[in-house]
Structure 1
Amino acid sequence: MGNQDLETIPVIDNALFSARDIEAGYGELQVLHGVDIDIRQNEIVLVFGPNGAGKSTLIKALYGRLPLWSGTIEINGSDLSDVRSNQMIEHGIGFVPQTENVFPNLTVSENLDIGAIHLTDAEPRRAELLELFPQLKQRVTQTAETLSGGEQQMLAMARALMPNPDLLFIDEPSAGLSPQLIDRTFDHIAQIRKNGTAVLIIEQDIHAALSVADRGYVLEMGENRFEGDAVNIQKSQQIRDLYLGR
């Protein structure tokens, strides 16, 4: 596949989630300069790029943690451009931040209860998620601070999944985990998609993320640089040279 194909950022008409011309930043510092992202139903999409590319800023802007300077965000045709982060779950979007993503002093069970705040009957959903994350099943009465790093990541994902969102944003799921736990984390992400939730991942371990992703976007200097399906990204010599380290 030629590089030109990867550099073309297509617009997907049947997307579940679309972000167009996203501009955002901090104070007077503009970080994002017109970024476009599409996510289809039940699709895993990876965003990667060099340090300082604007990846974390993008996920915060998409989730309403940072105000948009300009651009539009939609899910299922509903405009989310002015929706704040605490209302996103009502529109079908969950979020797993990189840090401080569990309540350390609360038990596994209590963390899941917080995720279920909008549900009238949380028990069936809790049972489903404890099947998805069987290690948590054995630890429901333990406080989150006593869990390993990998188990805390599982709990953060399970809690965000309690309301059964259409789309889950995950920021750096592999951060601080051993290689074995990274593989397990991405296996869980693949299963989340299989169970009907689309996923947007920001991730530094590009090889691990591409093993489960359908498509990827490369950001550079706050702009779209490349886009392609995961197989073609892995095959691209230019992307290997620039971003994959081999």
Structure 2
Amino acid sequence: MVSQDLAEPILSLDGVETCYGQSQVLFGVSFAIQPGEMVTLMGRNGMGKTTSVRSIMGLTMARAGSIKFMGEEIRGLAAYRIAQRGIGLVPEGRQIFPNLTVRENLVATAVSRDGGEWTLERVYELFPRLAERATSMGNQLSGGEQQMLAVGRALMTNPRLLILDEATEGLAPLIRQEIWNCLARLKQSGLSVMVIDKNVGALIKVADRHFMIERGKVVWSGLSAELTGNTEVQHRYLGV
């Protein structure tokens, strides 16, 4: 993990407010991610996690506040321009292309970026199962295989920041473990990562810092060491 005192955040949100029509969901969300850091955004359902992701990605426009990526203000930019700047998204529900093969899914949005190391071969090395299913259609894959494909597709954009929304939701325990192992390898590679998931035990092991969101505001943040064994925080904000 890079020292927070030495580096400018790769992503920072300051006072972000977002609405769906007349219904306000985010009420001043603020947090930052340092280069090479893996963080989590956790909270009960409906508290604003996915809306925060949609606001970052420009899929739902924030009406107030600042969202900076690599020092540049991105609030107000079109979603495709934000993606072009180097944020890769593994969306909730995976959203792979069902009528393309595994290989076609991976190369469809591939980007060659300066310093980028992600190629088809490297994704297959990370997820050997995708190499085995390279000619299978997206809709022929299991849920776990689809999640691997969604992660691999995001990596093929050679992102500077990877965001995973509901990283292991609905997956079998063995597949969940494979995703956690993948995230550990990505962290070791120095990639900045933000993860949304409900598996507190696994997240504490793999992530550096954690942000708890409740009713559209970040209400607690701390290092993994501070969250480990903190049953009060876990129960108050996660219900565990």
Q: Is the 8 A contact 2:87 2:160 kept in 1?
A: yes
Tell me if 1:31 matches 2:31: no
- The Cα shift of 1:195 comes to 2.4
Q: CA deviation at 1:64?
A: 0.6
State the shift of 1:101 in Å.
2.0
Contact 2:29 2:218 in 1 (8 A): yes
CA contact (8 A) 1:102 1:144 kept: yes
Shift of 1:180: 1.7
Aligned equivalents of 1:104 and 1:130: distance in 2? 19
Of residues 163-172 and 228-237 in structure 1, the stretch that sits farther from structure 2 once superposed is 228-237
Q: For the residues of structure 2 that align with 1:55 and 1:235, how far apart are their CA atoms? A: 23
1:43 Cα deviation from its structure 2 partner: 1.1
Q: Does 1:161 align with 2:161?
A: no
Asked if structure 2 preserves the Cα contact closer than 8 Å seen for 1:171 and 1:202, the reply is yes
Q: Normalising to structure 1: TM-score of the pair?
A: 0.89
Residue of structure 1 equivalent to 2:16: 22
Deviates more, 1:24-33 or 1:131-140: 131-140
User: Would you say how many aligned residue pairs link Structure 1 and Structure 2?
Assistant: 235
After superposition, the C-alpha distances for 1:226-246 in whole angstroms (9 at most, x for unaligned) are 000112112323213324555
Contact in 1 for aligned 2:43/2:238 (Cα 8 Å): no
Residue 106 in structure 1 maps to residue 100 in structure 2: yes
Q: TM-score, normalising length from structure 2? A: 0.91
Per-residue CA distance 1:85-137 (angstroms, 9 max, x = gap) = 22222111011111152111110110011121x439x9971111111111111
Q: Which amino acid aligns with 1:86?
A: Y
User: Which of 115, 127, 136 is the matching residue for 2:130?
Assistant: 136
**Structure 1's 245 and 180: CA in aligned 2 closer, same or farther, altered over 3 A?**
farther
Range moving further from structure 2, 198-207 or 18-27: 198-207
Partner of 1:94: 88
Residue 77 (structure 1) aligned with residue 63 (structure 2): no
Matched, 1:119 2:129: no
1:152 paired to 2:149: no
Aligned residue type for 2:175 = L
Q: Which runs of 5+ in 1 are unaligned?
A: 1-9
Change (3 A) 1:225 1:125: same
CA contact (8 A) 1:12 1:38 kept: no
Give ranges in structure 2 of 5+ residues lacking alignment: none
Deviation at 1:158, TM superposition (A): 0.5
SS at match of 1:156: helix
User: Aligned residue for 2:50?
Assistant: 56
1:204 aligns with 2:198: yes
Any conservation in 1 of the 2:211–2:221 contact (CA below 8 Å)? yes
Tell me, yes or no, if structure 1 residue 43 matches structure 2 residue 21.
no
- RMSD over aligned Cα atoms: 2.2
> Structure 1 46/11 Cα, relative in aligned 2: closer, same or farther at 3 Å?
farther
Q: One-letter code of the match for 1:72?
A: S
Partner-residue secondary structure (3-state), 1:239: helix
Q: 2:216 aligns to what?
A: 222
